[in-house]
Structure 1
């Protein structure tokens, strides 16, 4: 099948590479010539395990190409995926300017029937707006009878495992209002579901809603556990043991029950805001999601509160090692990352911060810039030297079993503030290390 993917960000690049892997002829379009040149030279704008190999293999095989030529891209694909960004506007709503601009660009150039697939995360009713844009442009061109269909195909990719999620999906949701469009997408996704059919067909508005509802539920679980963790500390309970007890109930399950420093990234914060805004527009309040947002913002400051309680509010002449800058392991994405809030508070209180991340250092330099008191270091052990304490923010695998003897010697004081509950409190105490975690009563 000939596919065009509009947008070469996270979703567009993974979608294009994975569809090409199954033998489709894929053209990925981006309006930034520098971005396209980098992709043509095998330089990816994101860190995602397995993606570079996929891109290189399929570009060399001639199944995947990158272009900034809109005419070529629209002429190529009988199926046109729109996978552009929908950032949050000031009022929390999703900014659809790029989605609607992509729809207009397609409509201005299409000469044959086209299936347009909204892959971007968009509010309910966006497909209707895309359809109106295309119909209006075709009418102005004198081509009102030129056939096209608009469908919704939301993505459910987790950063750090996006390639695997696409190649082995737990579900493929398609919203379509005609059988021909539905069958085309069923055929396209069939190679990804040879062992078990995970294709779920529904109406377009329900498909659009499902994406937001899914992310809102996951964000709710995270905030719920973070709120319980604060109570567990006051009651002398261990939230990790509570999590284990809860997770064995099949009605609850084990996923997204980990207490920590709050959620971040490109999806949960933006999508919860967009859903809350959509509810306000519809006159239907979402009280739970308002609480989810408030709890999450509060949780990003929990480690700061623990540090202040231990060292006092004035952190001048204090230095802290910080492990983990990305919002989660497996990615260099720092959007809405808890590390940003923690660093800002530490610097504002006069502290120095030596921060390390296995893959996000370059991104951190772009996001944070040159800041007095902030040192981005290339080794985890380098961050420890002369620091008053270690702060763990992201649960990268290499942080799970550090050399505790070296850690205790390198730090001025053997103190760990663990925002991801990586260690057992009793075991760390036995090593002579002072340990402050989330929702875990002192042993």
Structure 2
């Protein structure tokens, strides 16, 4: 297995481990990277949620292989997370503690005098005050700065995972495009030498106080969400004007002041990160006198966009859609993932089922998650190939199709059914080659 030249071999078992608490993709990636940098890891986690992440997130092959290797070598030791943080702080001496805020159990987060229980328990423990504590996650602005203040220790840091890329999580953490880090004590980065390889490999890095890094994280993610909603808003005007929004996005990307990222119109954004960021910002604004109409509009557009493809379907059939049968390709919030959190599949299924429409879903990665969410829905059927029973369907919805996988145009032309492309997965040439009707987001045949 080829590994980056700067990745070290593991240290001896006598070294104090990094204690990581969490079950998310961020926590799993951190554990893998920490071992690759020559450390041992004790991962305290909710076992069921950890298995869900491992099952439903499509890790790149390298991380899958390293995760299993490190487990077998006992360089990563997985342990059930106890109800009380005290048990973690007293079980072993650690080189550092890295806590993933959103993964902590409720018993750790119950507050007294606004202090999370785990902070109080750490303050009362025998953990040396010089042991670094790193916190990661998304919450309302100021939460992590306050937690750092509550911690009776100088070396507390905040690392937002703005650099993590789906499908390339391991490499994007080893060589982050942007490493942001907040520190409680100014100019104390030397106290977390364990992170120096990551900072050194980052294309760009910025270290400041925790409150500033929190604010910057929220601003970055909100800007990305705004770009998505901006293009989706313009896609509706493109429909009206008969312009292909995808071609417009290509032209916009040529302007270096804009760039090409996050300009793809479609059903909106889902997953956990962007929706969580928008929700956290709304909670922050609710406790201030600051008005933020732009982000309210971004959230409104995104939620409405998830139902747009259904409205196009309804209008195409002039409302006569009861008891039809449709095929749906893809269900995850992003192609290649098995997660459907905040994805368009949920509002679409709800709307279709309200008209007694049978839904045949082709979504190999997300099948288990959907089956678990809708165990008793007779209108939900799963198919093993995209063209299975396509001739029996009245329409096709495309929600999530991998860019690397060829669309079966010939099979579509054999059955001649209307295509409703919520992902804008079809190229201009593919649209023109379709025998049947096509409607996308800001583009039509």
Give me the TM-score of the superposition, normalised by structure 1.
0.86
Matched, 1:62 2:77: no
Secondary structure in structure 2 of the residue aligned to 1:304: helix
CA contact (8 A) 2:362 2:384 kept: yes
Structure 2 counterpart of 1:116, from 133, 147, 150: 133
SS in 2 for 1:230: helix
Aligned 8 A contact 1:175 1:202 in 2: yes
- Looking at structure 2, the residues matched to 406 and 121 of structure 1 have their Cα atoms a distance apart, in angstroms, of 44
Distance change >3 Å, CA 169–CA 347, structure 1 → 2: same
1:159 aligns with 2:166: yes
Q: Do structure 1's residue 433 and structure 2's residue 436 form an aligned pair? A: yes
Residue aligned with 2:195, SS = helix
| Distance (Å, rounded) in 2 between the aligned partners of 1:109 and 1:365 | 44
Q: Distance in 1 between matches of 2:331 and 2:134?
A: 34
Q: CA deviation at 1:180?
A: 6.5
Task: Say whether 1:23 aligns with 2:29.
Answer: no
155-164 or 218-227, which deviates more: 155-164
The residue number in structure 1 matching 2:196 is 190
**2:390 matches 1:405:** no
| 2:93 equivalent in structure 1 | 76
1:3 is displaced (CA, Å) by: 1.3
Query: How far does residue 416 in structure 1 lie from its aligned partner after superposition?
Result: 1.1
Out of 400, 422, 425, which is 1:422 matched to?
425
2:175–2:201 Cα contact (<8 Å) kept: no
Q: Note closer, same or farther for the CA distance 1:284–1:150 as it changes in structure 2 (3 Å cut).
A: same
- Closer, same or farther in 2 for the Cα pair 1:378/1:27, shift >3 Å? same
Corresponding position of 2:65: 53
Aligned residue number for residue 127 of structure 1? 144
Question: 2:56 and 2:419 mapped to 1: Cα distance?
Answer: 33
SS of match in other structure, 1:246: helix
5+ residue gaps, structure 1, are 88-94, 136-146
CA distance in 2, matches of 1:353, 1:286: 39
Q: Separation in 2 of the partners of 1:273 and 1:197?
A: 29
Measured in 1, the distance between the counterparts of 2:350 and 2:363 equals 17
* Aligned equivalent of 1:5, options 20, 25, 30: 20
Which of residues 92, 102, 110 in structure 2 aligns to 1:85? 102
Alpha-carbon distance, 1:329 to partner: 1.4
Give the superposition deviation at 1:8.
1.8
101-110 vs 215-224, greater mean Cα deviation: 101-110
Alignment check: 8 A CA contact 1:115 1:181 kept: no
Indicate the larger mover: 48-57 or 208-217. 48-57
Q: Is the 8 A contact 1:79 1:115 kept in 2?
A: yes
Residue correspondence of structure 1 range 310-349 to structure 2 within 5 A: 310-349=316-355
Q: Say if 2:119 is the partner of 1:103.
A: yes
Distance of aligned partners of 1:65 and 1:284 in 2 relative to their CA distance in 1, 3 Å threshold: same
Q: Is it true that 1:220 corresponds to 2:226 in the alignment?
A: yes
Cα gap change, 1:72/1:299 in structure 2, threshold over 3 Å: closer, same or farther?
A: closer
CA distance in 2, matches of 1:287, 1:385: 46
Contact 1:82-1:102 within 8 A present in 2 as well:
no
Contact 1:326 1:333 in 2 (8 A): yes
Alpha-carbon spacing, 1:86–1:172, altered in 2? closer, same or farther (3 Å)? same
Pairwise CA distance, 1:106: 3.5
Question: How many residues were matched structurally?
Answer: 417
Contact 2:323 2:355 in 1 (8 A): no
Distance 1:61-1:288 versus aligned 2 partners, 3 A rule: same
Query: Are residues 177 and 85 of structure 1, via their aligned partners in 2, closer, same or farther at CA, if it must alter by over 3 Å?
Result: closer
Stretches of structure 2 lacking an aligned partner (at least 5 in a row) = 1-15
The equivalent residue for 2:288 is 282
1:237 deviation in Å?
A: 1.3
1:220-277: CA deviations, max 9, x gaps?
0000000000001101111111111110000100000000011111111121121122
